[in-house]
């Protein structure tokens, strides 16, 4: 495997379009097939009065990321107060707006279905002392959220490297999801009967965890815990420079964030019905593999 197998480069420099129709089609097909769309010239530029915020000092003691919830406007993970806090929220909101506009221009077929989720700001160096393999995002994994069941909806994420010192962000990208699932699904233990109902009743999940959500969480954990897989699995190193952006279905693409600091990220959820080709989606791949409905 090499970088061109897992990544497609588009030299778009504007957040607000327009994007030629043949690029729109190519972008959507590549994304859904499990490639990283890389935009080397799509830079998110903090304003001069935002530059002091590009520092790990804005984090509160215990957190690695600052998150902004678009439904509540709540900003979490920062120790900042007053006008500095407002300035940080404003920068993240500006990024969220730019990211949403960009996605609408790039993939108009998604526009009516986009559900903007959290915006995150990651000012610190990627954690090189995580508390457990499960917490270690330097290990290859697919994304799955323990408290947020998605019932088969997709996770699409746009990242921008805004490191003021020009540091690149280093990722590794793994094998196709279907190959990964073929190897790991037969090894997964079944969920405890009734556990999804219990988690929802206790308020530990926002809605009920489907069999799909349970399986994706187990795949996330199983990949990260398997040291042999981590070292032997096919994988490609990507260097994502400061001033670039990239877009990827992180529920489909095995990825590891190895090194780097000061990135912004916008998450979107999308229903399966918005896919040009839903057969590539993790839900469909897992349903084919297990021979049963998972949501």
Please, are residues 244 and 148 in contact by the beta-carbon 8 Å criterion?
Answer: no
Calpha distance 84→59 (Å, rounded): 12
- Does an H or E element contain 215, and which? helix 211-225
Closest CB to Fe ion among residues 143, 287: 143
Closest CB to Fe ion among residues 32, 143: 143
Calpha distance 234→220 (Å, rounded): 17
Question: Per the structure block, which two tokens stand in for 119?
Answer: 């915006």
Region binding Fe ion by CB under 5 A among candidate stretches 109-117, 140-148, 160-168, 214-222: 140-148
Region binding Fe ion by CB under 5 A among candidate stretches 29-37, 89-97, 138-146, 277-285: 138-146
Instruction: Output DSSP code: residue 116.
Output: E
Chain-centroid distance, C-alpha 130: 19
User: Which residues sit opposite 141 in a β-bridge?
Assistant: 255
| Residue sitting closest to Fe ion (CB) | 143
Closest CB to Fe ion among residues 89, 144: 144
Please, are residues 252 and 177 in contact by the beta-carbon 8 Å criterion?
Answer: yes
Nearest residue to 21 via CA among 111, 109, 115, 112:
109
- Least distance in Å: CB of 177 to Fe ion? 14
Q: Judged by CB under 5 A, does residue 265 bind Fe ion?
A: no
Which CA distances in Å does 204 have to 51, 187, 264? 37, 26, 27
- Beta-carbon contacts of residue 279 (< 8 Å; ≥ 6 apart): none
Closest CB to Fe ion among residues 8, 143: 143
Q: Which of 8, 32, 136, 143 binds Fe ion (CB under 5 A)?
A: 143
- Least distance in Å: CB of 7 to Fe ion? 16
- Least distance in Å: CB of 253 to Fe ion? 9
- Least distance in Å: CB of 52 to Fe ion? 28
Question: Per the structure block, which two tokens stand in for 48?
Answer: 């001069």
Region binding Fe ion by CB under 5 A among candidate stretches 88-96, 139-147, 166-174, 261-269: 139-147
| Size, binding site for Fe ion by CB under 5 A | 1
Please, are residues 185 and 289 in contact by the beta-carbon 8 Å criterion?
Answer: yes
Please, are residues 59 and 52 in contact by the beta-carbon 8 Å criterion?
Answer: no
Region binding Fe ion by CB under 5 A among candidate stretches 35-43, 143-151, 181-189, 195-203: 143-151
Closest CB to Fe ion among residues 236, 276: 236
- Least distance in Å: CB of 145 to Fe ion? 10
Region binding Fe ion by CB under 5 A among candidate stretches 23-31, 105-113, 136-144, 147-155: 136-144
Residues that bind Fe ion (CB under 5 A): 143
């Amino acid at each position: 495997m090499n970088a061109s197998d897992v990544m497609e480069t588009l030299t778009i420099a504007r957040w607000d379009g327009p994007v030629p129709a043949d690029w729109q089609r190519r972008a959507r097909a590549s994304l859904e097939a499990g490639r990283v769309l890389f935009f080397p010239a799509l830079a998110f530029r903090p304003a001069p009065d935002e530059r002091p915020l590009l520092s790990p000092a804005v984090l509160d003691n215990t957190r690695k990321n600052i998150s902004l919830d678009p439904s509540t406007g709540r900003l979490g993970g920062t120790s900042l107060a007053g006008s500095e806090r407002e300035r940080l929220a404003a920068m993240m909101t500006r990024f969220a707006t730019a990211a949403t506009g960009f996605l609408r221009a790039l993939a108009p077929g998604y526009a009516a279905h986009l559900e903007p989720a959290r915006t995150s700001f990651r000012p610190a160096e990627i954690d090189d002392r995580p508390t457990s393999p499960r917490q270690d995002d330097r290990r290859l994994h697919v994304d799955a959220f323990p408290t947020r069941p998605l019932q088969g909806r997709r996770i699409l994420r746009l990242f921008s490297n805004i490191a003021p010192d020009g540091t690149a962000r280093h990722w590794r990208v793994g094998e196709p999801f279907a190959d990964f699932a073929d190897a790991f699904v037969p090894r997964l233990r079944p969920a405890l009967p009734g556990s999804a109902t219990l988690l929802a009743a206790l308020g530990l999940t926002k809605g009920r965890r489907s069999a799909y959500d349970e399986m994706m969480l187990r795949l996330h954990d199983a990949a990260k815990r398997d040291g042999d897989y981590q070292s032997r699995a096919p994988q490609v190193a990507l260097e994502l420079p400061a001033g670039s952006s990239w877009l990827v279905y992180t529920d489909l693409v095995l990825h590891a964030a190895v090194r780097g600091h000061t990135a912004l990220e916008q998450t979107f959820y999308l229903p399966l019905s918005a896919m040009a080709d839903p057969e590539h989606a993790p839900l469909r791949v897992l349903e084919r593999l297990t021979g049963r409905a998972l949501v």
